[in-house]
Structure 1
Amino acid sequence: LDMDGTLEPTEGTVKGFTHYPEDDPMVVFMNEFDGTPLAGERWDAESDCIFLDKAMDGAGTNEDAIIHVIANRTNAQRQKIKKKFKTAYGEDLIERLDSELSGDFLETVMALFVPPAHYDAWCIKEAIYGPGTDESVLIEIFGTRTPKQIQEIRAVYGDVASPNRKSGETLIEQDIEDDTSGDFKRFLISACQGGRNELDPETLEEAVEPVLFEDKPTGQFIINMEKLVNVAKAKRDAQKLFEVTEDQLGTDEEEMIRIFALPEVYQSRATYDEYVKLTQRDVENTIDRETSGNFGKGLLTMVMALKCRPKYFAERLVWCMKGLGTHDSDLIRVIVSRAEIDMVQIKECFLEMTKQTLWNWIDQDCSGDYCKILKAIVGQN
């Protein structure tokens, strides 16, 4: 399974930095700084620390140098840089950056230095504890993260949201209970369990079949998608969904949550396909017709992410930048959180959707060093 929990290949635009190329600005700098021949050498957190320290040394800050390092390292590498910097200089790198940078550029840099689960937990905490509840953030995170990612969020949420309380994983449910209500609350409580079924290795192994040519094996294999799903169950769930929505007066929201929250991704897609055969209507249309408010938005997000997670995030990015003004915190969150997972596929969906590249949209919609670092993360190609 890929990083997003499916069999579809995904690729991030930010990858592990391995060697310093000859034309890297750090190679030139280190040669001039102390004669270190860095070209071709393996990545070294200490060299990055020296480069960052000099970028913030003296009057003025070399923001381009900061962007060059931070936007081209993985989160795991940034954690090593952060630790090495404190060892080398007896000073916290995050505090140093905080004193040198400002605005949306600072917010982006800070986000890049937070481990993924902690960053999601922080975003949830801000959405709940801030002035009013930002339901769209809760919907985005709980509606799109894999079971493994949600379990990781649960494990760290207590430390992030309330480090002085020894409440562990339960705090996230307490906060949702206290801050939301009705069907939307039930949706979030369900989603925050990270309990969606996942493909088991045995089922996956049975679905792998050899590719034959003239009845002889070619050494290649394909996935028989029909063996990944229980078609009879998909038909039952499709029928049940019809019965609790279109086929009765009123809607059974609890049963809807069960149908949308439990099956693994391919079983869910099979149910959606069977629903179309049964009703001549896709599930998104039924959700629109039969639900309202944040509960409906949550279900729609869940369905869209299960069908094609990159497409959902491409649409989210369009929303962030379309029209008057930019939803900067949302833009930062989507780009930072998907940079190492599926940003390549998100860019493809974005291009198909808007007929323009994501890089160009950012270039037209943002400015300054904030614009530069976002473009460096997503890449121009």
Structure 2
Amino acid sequence: GPTEEEIKERVKAIYIAELLRRIDRSGTLDVTSGTVVGYPVYTEDDPVLQFNTEKNGYEFNKDEPLKWDPELDCEYLRDALKGWGTNEDAIIHVIATRCNAQRQELKTCFKTAYGRDLVKDLKGDLSFNFETAVLALFVPPAEYDAWAIKEAIYGPGTDERALMEILLTRTNPQIKAIRDCYNDVASPNSQKAKGLIDKDIENDCSGDFKRLLVSAAQGNRSHISEDKLKNAVEEIMSDGTPTGMFEVNFDKLCDIKRAKADAKNLFKAGEDRWGTDEETFVRIFACRDYYQLRATYNEYVKITQRDIENSVSRETSGDFERGLLSIVKNIKCRPRFFADELTSSMKGLGTKDNRLIRIITSRSEIDMVQIKKHFLENNKQTLWKWLQDDCSGDYRKLLQAIVGKD
């Protein structure tokens, strides 16, 4: 059998692979989880199963649960959309319990089984915010982000908030995926050169804010490589004895010399001069990886006795300030950033439904569990309860089904 060392190496390799997956998914090494996860087998109380039992005589065997089958879901959805009136609860049930990849399978299967377009059928039968949310949940994540960016730019007036919320929070692979499909989404029939997203941002935004977004849209922020991780992952010791378990030594992930130099340069670019050198802020905020920026912000406090957010607010203004602050909040704690955005989308007069739908849709499979915790801390009420008071009808039911009650 394998030696103890070989087993340890294997455990370490599995741990590193998991860390790399987290970085690609949520940009950090933290454990995050969505409220929507894949649906592997039908549970006994699933209405799809009950429907198919009545219609097709399916027998449910407790010892051998039935694997999820897009065709069964499609029969159920077709029935929900047929004839007079729509069975909205059926639609909400399927959407909120199946993940995005499964919803993509449903679209293909529906077309195969009925020669009909599921999304068009849904669109024909639903309306208003409920329709918007349902359709959003049927789009693959990168395409949905690309569509939201296009809407933010081509819609009436520019929605700077949406541009920041997407471009400044996505990981490199997520931004690359957005770039890959942006042309098709923004101008489907034209043969425009790749890089349309940069041109669109340049035409629609201005000044330092424009630079910040164009730089974020490259999806080229330095990232933590596998080698760097291998170097930083160490075996946990207990009273001097190795335990066979591993953890990350965060000091080894960062280059402290560089963090000190960057902090000094930020100080020189802002607090230490008359006027502000915005370019330095853009370069450092846009190029460094997550943990490097965390280290830089820590060093900054040591030099200036100020929090970086305080300096950014004193030295910059408008959308540029909001953009830099979005980056800082994301680096400090991404789920808290989204919890704050959700709060502001429902606070005050009228609900900003587009923002609410966008955040719940795009974070539902990434870190919604953590976002809800921060939301509860901020507001002393659950997100579910806020939605209860702030939205209504099937729209409310759908959003609540996605985020869950706790």
Q: Report the TM range for the smaller structure's normalisation.
A: over 0.9
- In 1, the alpha carbon distance for the partners of 2:267 and 2:102 equals 49
1:26 aligns with 2:51: no
Per the alignment, in what secondary structure is the counterpart of residue 38 of structure 2? Answer: coil
Per the alignment, in what secondary structure is the counterpart of residue 190 of structure 2? Answer: coil
Q: Aligned match of 1:86 in 99, 102, 111?
A: 111
- The one-letter code sitting in structure 2 at the alignment partner of 1:142 is L
The CA deviation at 1:37 is 2.3
Report which stretch shifted further, 339-348 or 220-229.
Answer: 220-229
The C-alpha deviation readout for 1:231-250, integer Å capped at 9, x for no partner, is 11000000000000000000
1:322 aligns with 2:344: no
Task: State the partner residue of 2:137.
Answer: 112
Counterpart mapping for 1:195-274 below 5 A: 195-274=220-299
Task: State the partner residue of 2:95.
Answer: 70
- The one-letter code sitting in structure 2 at the alignment partner of 1:290 is E
Task: State the partner residue of 2:151.
Answer: 126
The CA deviation at 1:24 is 1.4
The C-alpha deviation readout for 1:171-229, integer Å capped at 9, x for no partner, is 11111111111111111111111110000111111111111223221111111111110
Per the alignment, in what secondary structure is the counterpart of residue 66 of structure 2? Answer: coil
Counterpart mapping for 1:149-168 below 5 A: 149-168=174-193
User: Aligned pair count?
Assistant: 381
1:285 aligns with 2:307: no
Q: Is the 8 A contact 2:209 2:320 kept in 1?
A: yes
Per the alignment, in what secondary structure is the counterpart of residue 189 of structure 2? Answer: coil
Structure 1 residues without counterparts, runs of 5 or longer: none
Q: Aligned match of 2:403 in 330, 355, 378?
A: 378
Q: Is the 8 A contact 1:30 1:38 kept in 2?
A: no
Q: Is the 8 A contact 2:175 2:219 kept in 1?
A: yes
Counterpart mapping for 1:138-149 below 5 A: 138-149=163-174
Counterpart mapping for 1:4-23 below 5 A: 4-23=26-45
- The one-letter code sitting in structure 1 at the alignment partner of 2:257 is A
The CA deviation at 1:38 is 4.7
Report which stretch shifted further, 121-130 or 160-169.
Answer: 160-169
- The one-letter code sitting in structure 2 at the alignment partner of 1:31 is T
Q: Is the 8 A contact 1:48 1:81 kept in 2?
A: yes
Q: Is the 8 A contact 1:156 1:169 kept in 2?
A: no
1:357 aligns with 2:379: no
Structure 2 residues without counterparts, runs of 5 or longer: 1-19
- In 1, the alpha carbon distance for the partners of 2:84 and 2:221 equals 53
- In 1, the alpha carbon distance for the partners of 2:50 and 2:133 equals 27
Q: Is the 8 A contact 2:27 2:170 kept in 1?
A: no
Task: State the partner residue of 2:161.
Answer: 136
Report which stretch shifted further, 257-266 or 176-185.
Answer: 176-185
The CA deviation at 1:168 is 4.5
- In 1, the alpha carbon distance for the partners of 2:29 and 2:92 equals 33
Per the alignment, in what secondary structure is the counterpart of residue 359 of structure 2? Answer: helix
Which of structure 1's runs of 4+ aligned residues deviate more than 6 A? none
TM-score, normalised via structure 1 length: 0.98
Say what the alpha-carbon RMSD is for the aligned residues.
Answer: 0.9
- In 2, the alpha carbon distance for the partners of 1:356 and 1:344 equals 15
The C-alpha deviation readout for 1:98-127, integer Å capped at 9, x for no partner, is 111001000000000111010000001011
- In 2, the alpha carbon distance for the partners of 1:115 and 1:265 equals 26
Report which stretch shifted further, 225-234 or 175-184.
Answer: 175-184
Per the alignment, in what secondary structure is the counterpart of residue 211 of structure 1? Answer: strand
- In 2, the alpha carbon distance for the partners of 1:112 and 1:76 equals 10
Q: Is the 8 A contact 1:246 1:286 kept in 2?
A: yes
Counterpart mapping for 1:56-67 below 5 A: 56-67=81-92
- In 2, the alpha carbon distance for the partners of 1:273 and 1:242 equals 13
Q: Aligned match of 1:339 in 358, 361, 364?
A: 364
Per the alignment, in what secondary structure is the counterpart of residue 26 of structure 2? Answer: coil
- The one-letter code sitting in structure 2 at the alignment partner of 1:7 is L
- The one-letter code sitting in structure 2 at the alignment partner of 1:246 is E
The CA deviation at 1:151 is 1.0
- The one-letter code sitting in structure 1 at the alignment partner of 2:34 is G
Report which stretch shifted further, 92-101 or 182-191.
Answer: 182-191
- The one-letter code sitting in structure 1 at the alignment partner of 2:38 is G
TM-score, normalised via structure 2 length: 0.92
Task: State the partner residue of 1:187.
Answer: 212
Identity between Structure 1 and Structure 2 (%): 57
